[in-house]
């Protein structure tokens, strides 16, 4: 036996089966990868198995272009939104300024109209007061006249002038002047100008003086509405088919046509 028969061999044992893997890759309009796997399954004579997978194509230039387009569109939308917000804000500011200007102008006009109305009222009041002062002076001098006929004529004129000076005053039930009256207080104040004292209420005034028919009226006659001694309203006849009275809260002191509201009767005190 050779002296080397028991010396173990240094050569590596030969493997009867081992897997074989092959990988191939290439790029041509896309990326295709082929993976081949071969292996022994159980025995050395088993047939190799090969599997091929197709990877999706990836176009870098196209993807970048799409991203740029989206970014540009987003930027444009942001700019448009900002412009719209700015426009809306400017419109709101302008509308607010216009509203404030209109309000200020309306207030100015209202104040001007109020001041004008107050001025007119003061002028009218001053005019009435002046007329009353003149009437009072003239009636006093008339009472001193020596002739009774002259006195009567002057007295009637003083009564009518006083009444006309009150036209436009307010009607207030129970008021006795100088700027508001009821029907009987106005009649009473008018005849006081010539020192004739009449009762305060309309019912009693309808019994004063001499009864005259409404077809035989003279300027200065006291008209009454309702039954004699129970009248509810009085006024004074001023001629030409008209009378003057403190009518009601809506009309105030006015001159009216007697045909529109015929009196029940009349009394004469002058």
Look at residue 108 in the predicted model and tell me its pLDDT.
82
Kindly report the pTM of this predicted structure. 0.47
DSSP designation for 96: H
Q: How far apart are CA 42 and CA 234, in angstroms?
A: 141
Residue 125, CA distances (Å) to 128, 165, 224, 244 in order: 5, 10, 29, 19
Strands 252-257 and 210-212: unpaired
Q: How far apart are CA 156 and CA 142, in angstroms?
A: 10
Q: How far apart are CA 168 and CA 51, in angstroms?
A: 117
Give me 169's structure tokens: 């005053």
Look at residue 189 in the predicted model and tell me its pLDDT.
97
DSSP designation for 197: -
Look at residue 230 in the predicted model and tell me its pLDDT.
96
CATH entry 3.90.1720.10 includes domain 145-268:
yes
Look at residue 160 in the predicted model and tell me its pLDDT.
97
Residues of the chain with CATH 3.90.1720.10: 145-268
Regions of the chain where pLDDT drops below 50: 1-2, 4-5, 7, 10, 17-47, 49, 135-152
Beta bridge partner(s), residue 14: none
Look at residue 149 in the predicted model and tell me its pLDDT.
34
Look at residue 13 in the predicted model and tell me its pLDDT.
53
Look at residue 19 in the predicted model and tell me its pLDDT.
44
Look at residue 148 in the predicted model and tell me its pLDDT.
32
Contact indicator for 182, 174 with CB cutoff of 8 Å: yes
Instruction: State the number of CA atoms in the 13 A half-sphere of 205 facing the CB.
Output: 30
Look at residue 228 in the predicted model and tell me its pLDDT.
94
DSSP designation for 26: E
Q: How far apart are CA 132 and CA 165, in angstroms?
A: 7
């Amino acid at each position: 036996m050779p002296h080397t028969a028991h010396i173990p061999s240094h050569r590596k044992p030969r493997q009867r089966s081992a897997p074989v893997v092959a990988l191939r890759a290439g790029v041509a309009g896309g990326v295709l990868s082929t993976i081949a796997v071969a292996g022994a399954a159980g025995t050395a004579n088993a047939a190799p198995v090969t599997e091929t997978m197709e990877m999706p194509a990836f176009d870098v230039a196209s993807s970048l272009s799409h991203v740029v387009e989206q970014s540009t569109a987003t930027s444009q939308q942001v700019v448009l939104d900002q412009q719209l917000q700015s426009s809306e804000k400017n419109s709101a500011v302008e509308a607010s300024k216009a509203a404030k200007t209109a309000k200020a102008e309306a207030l100015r006009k209202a104040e001007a109209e109020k001041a004008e109305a107050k001025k007119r009222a003061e002028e009218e009041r001053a005019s009435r007061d002046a007329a009353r002062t003149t009437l009072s002076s003239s009636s006093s001098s008339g009472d001193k006249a020596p002739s009774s006929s002259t006195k009567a004529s002057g007295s009637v004129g003083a009564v009518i002038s006083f009444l006309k000076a009150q036209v436009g005053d307010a009607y207030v039930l129970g008021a006795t002047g100088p700027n508001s009256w009821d029907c009987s207080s106005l009649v009473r104040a008018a005849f006081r100008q010539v020192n004739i004292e009449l009762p305060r209420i309309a019912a009693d005034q309808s019994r004063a003086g001499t009864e005259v028919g409404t077809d035989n009226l003279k300027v200065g006659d006291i008209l009454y509405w309702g039954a004699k001694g129970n009248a509810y309203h009085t006024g004074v006849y001023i001629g030409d088919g008209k009378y003057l009275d403190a009518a009601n809260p809506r009309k105030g002191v006015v001159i009216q046509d007697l045909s529109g509201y015929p009196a029940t009767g009349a009394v004469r005190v002058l």
